[in-house]
Every structure is written in C-alpha cells, then in structure tokens.
Amino acid sequence: MDAKLTDRQCRILPAGENALGEAKAALLDGQTVAIPTETVYGLAADATNGEAVARIFESKQRPSFNPLICHVSGIAMAETFASFDPLSRKLAAHFWPGALTLVLPLKEGHAIHPLVTAGLDTVAVRAPKGFGAELIEAVGRPLAAPSANRSGRISPTTAQAVADSLGDTIGLVIDGGPTQVGVESTIIKVEESKIHLLRPGGVAAEDIEAAAGQKLTRAEANAAIQAPGMLASHYAPNAAMRLNADHVEAGEALLGFGPERIAGAEKAKAVLVLSETGDPVEAAANLFDYMGRLDASGARCIAVEPIPLHGLGEAINDRLARAAAPRETI
Ligand code: TXA
Ligand code: MG
C-alpha cells in the first residue's frame, strides 16, 4: 500500500457540528465515512456505488467473500431492494430502528451493488438508531457498513478505537460518543416461517422469540452457516484468550464478570470487570473496549471469568469464543 496513505491521519468530527453535511457530501462523492450506530461504529459507503463499497474492503483488508449489512432508514427504503415475508416484516416493525439485522431475498432489478452481497441473492438489512439514521435520511440511499475495524479485529465502540484501527486508511470518523449497545446486531433469517439465528447480538434471542411467538433455530457451531463472515477467529486481539477461567496464571490479564474475582486475580497484569453487578447489558457495552485495553497491557493471554449464557450473555460468549479460536491468517 501507498506509504503516504499509511501515514495519513483521519479527522474525527463530533456528531453535533456540521457532521451531517460533511458525511453526506463525502458519501455522495463515493468516499467512506466511519459513523456511530447504537451497536458499534460502522465504516459506511453508498451501497449502490461499487467503487465506494470497494474502498470499505480495501480499508478493512476484509476477504471479499464476506458480505456487508445494508443500513436503511426503515422498512420503506428496505422494500426498494428486498422482499419481506410476513414474519420478517413483523420483526422489523417491532425492533427497528434497532440492533436487529434481517437477511432477506433481493428483489429483481435492485440497485444494491453486488460487492455488498458478495454475489448472494440475499441481503442483510437493518435500520440503525441515532446519527446513522439521520445520515441515511439525508443521503436518501442505503449505506453498506461493516464494523469499522480491520478485518478479524475487535469491533470499535468509540471514535478513537476506529481511528486506532483504520485511521491510516480512512478520511473521516464521526464521533457520537461510546456506543450504547456495544456488540454488533443480532442477525436472523426467516425461512419457511422458521427463524434462524445466524449471529447472536444486541437484541437478545429471548426478546425476538417473545415478539415472534416462536423459538429461534440456532446454527450449529462451525456448520456452513449462511453468515459467511463468521470466521471462527473473528474479533481476535493480539493476546491469546482463555475462557471460563477459574484462576489467573503468571503474565495473564483478567477480564472479570460479577462481584467476585477468581483465584490469583491479584497477580494479573491488568484487571477489568465487564459488570460488577453481573449485568449482561452493561457487560456487552464494555466488552470490546475492555478486550482492547487488556490487549494493550501487553499480557500474553487474557483470562476470562465465566459469563452466564442468558440474554446478551449469548452474544458475549459467542464473541469471546471467536476471539479465543485458533487464529486464521488475516
Ligand atoms: O451492528 C452491526 O451489525 C454492525 C453495525 C455497523 O451495523 N455491523 C456489522 O457488520 O457487524 P459486519 O460486516 O461486521 O458483519 C456483518 C455480518 C457478517 O457476518 C456477514 O457475513 C453477515 O453479516 N451477512 C451479510 N450479508 C449476509 C447475507 N446475505 N446472508 C447471511 N449473512 C450475511
Ligand atoms: Mg465486523
């Protein structure tokens, strides 16, 4: 890659100032812009512009077989390119704007660039909250946006984390403060009136089940699931990860959960507790930030205390398992 590009530092612009106008102009000019959403920061581009979308892959160094989520202002915009079955429509109406992504069939003659969907005949769609929602309204087009981190790394929950990960390959980051949810959206796909959970995330499976009046089907771990981005070693920090730890070993940092620490916590290189009270919502919001901070402590390994599976605990354990998986070359 061009050395000049690598030396360049991106600009961080607070969401309150003329951010909307600047971000809109850059997107309509075919540039990428990193934007806050309620889940994690996304690296956005006009989903109908192939060159703009290609810049996302280039910045993230993401394998191009990995399709992106299309962000929309609501069901009406999504319907310009995707078809809703009745159950998907009901769930979109219930959870949008919010942290639920639906995989839907593409419509004939749609304007979404094939790079976005990596050649699939389906598209992942969600309507975000906050700055992202205002920006999509202003631009009037769907925005393709993966999490704004280098491929395989921790998803950013602050503007600074975006700049640290991608600052040398992007121009502009809009700073909306720390994201509220802290983990990526939940991805589901309805097929023959069954709801498949493709990726646990910011909306708890139990809440989807309550709204839909039926149980979710979970993709088996490592099955050829239809979320091709679910590489086992996604989200990896530099340090190794040791999950469900019952003690801390020399040279390890500790990621805690709940009021009590495991044996040997006092000798950890660094300790951060996801939630002192054992609240999975608070833990999800802190997860990527704390993993990044413990990684920066230089520990060779991060020991992680057990985290119960209920509510957002499922998404947290999923991300931790990926971070702990044997590393693939990225
Ligand atoms: O919260 C989020 O979802 C964030 C924010 C920025 O919206 N975005 C995000 O995007 O996490 P990304 O690209 O990091 O993850 C998108 C996931 C990938 O695992 C990808 O494989 C899956 O969505 N995906 C995209 N299109 C798909 C499709 N047509 N069928 C199945 N999975 C799809
Ligand atoms: Mg990602």
Q: Which residues line ligand 1 (CB under 6 A)?
A: 37, 39-40, 42, 66-69, 101, 103, 117, 120, 122-124, 128, 145-147, 184-185, 187, 198-199, 226-230
Q: Is the dihedral of CA 59, 61, 64, 67 positive or negative?
A: negative
* Peptide bond preceding 308 in cis form (omega within 30 of 0): no
By C-alpha distance, which of 13, 166, 1, 195 is closest to 92?
A: 195
| Other beta carbons less than 10 A from residue 94's beta carbon | 15
Most confident of 44-53, 202-211, 305-314: 202-211
Q: What does the alpha-carbon distance between residue 265 and residue 280 come to, in Å, rounded to a whole number?
A: 21
- Name the residues around ion ligand 2, CB cutoff 5 A: 147
SS3 24: helix
Its pTM stands at: 0.83
Sheet with 122-126: strands ordered across = 11-14, 172-175, 33-35, 42-46, 143-144, 69-71, 122-126, 100-105, 186-191, 194-199, 216-218
Centre of ligand 2 from the C-alpha of residue 261, in Å: 30
Rounded alpha-carbon distances, angstroms, from residue 85 to 142, 158, 190, 213, 294: 20, 35, 8, 16, 44
Q: How far apart are CA 320 and CA 15, in angstroms?
A: 30
Alpha carbon of 240 to ligand 1 centroid (Å):
25
CATH class of 4-218: alpha beta
Relative to beta strand 143-144, strand 122-126 is unpaired
When computed from its CA atoms, the radius of gyration of the chain, rounded to whole angstroms, is: 19
Q: Note the pLDDT tens digit of each residue in 234-284.
A: 667 889 999 999 999 999 999 999 999 999 999 999 999 999 999 988 888
Cβ count within 10 A of residue 129? 17
Helix (H) or strand (E) run with residue 254 in it: strand 252-256
Buried (b) or exposed (e) across 252-266, using 16+ Cβ within 10 A?
A: bbbbbbbeebbebbe
Task: For 157-178, write each residue's pLDDT tens digit.
Answer: 999 999 999 999 999 999 999 9
Q: Atom 19 in ligand 1: which residue has the minimum CA distance?
A: 229
Domain with CATH 3.90.870.10 in the chain: 4-218
Which residues in the chain are classed under CATH 3.40.50.11030?
Answer: 240-324
Compute the distance from residue 133 Cα to the ligand 1 centre, in Å. 17
Which of 38, 165, 184, 318 to mutate for ligand 1's pocket (most ligand atoms within 8 Å of CB)?
A: 184
CA of 189 to the centre of ligand 2 (A): 18
Pocket test residue of 116, 147, 189, 318 for ligand 1, highest count of atoms within 8 A of CB: 147
Please report which confidence band the pLDDT of residue 183 belongs to, taking 50, 70 and 90 as the band edges: very high
**40-96 pLDDT, tens per residue?**
999 999 999 988 988 888 888 766 567 899 999 999 999 999 999 999 999 999 999
Fold of the 240-324 domain:
Rossmann fold (3.40.50)
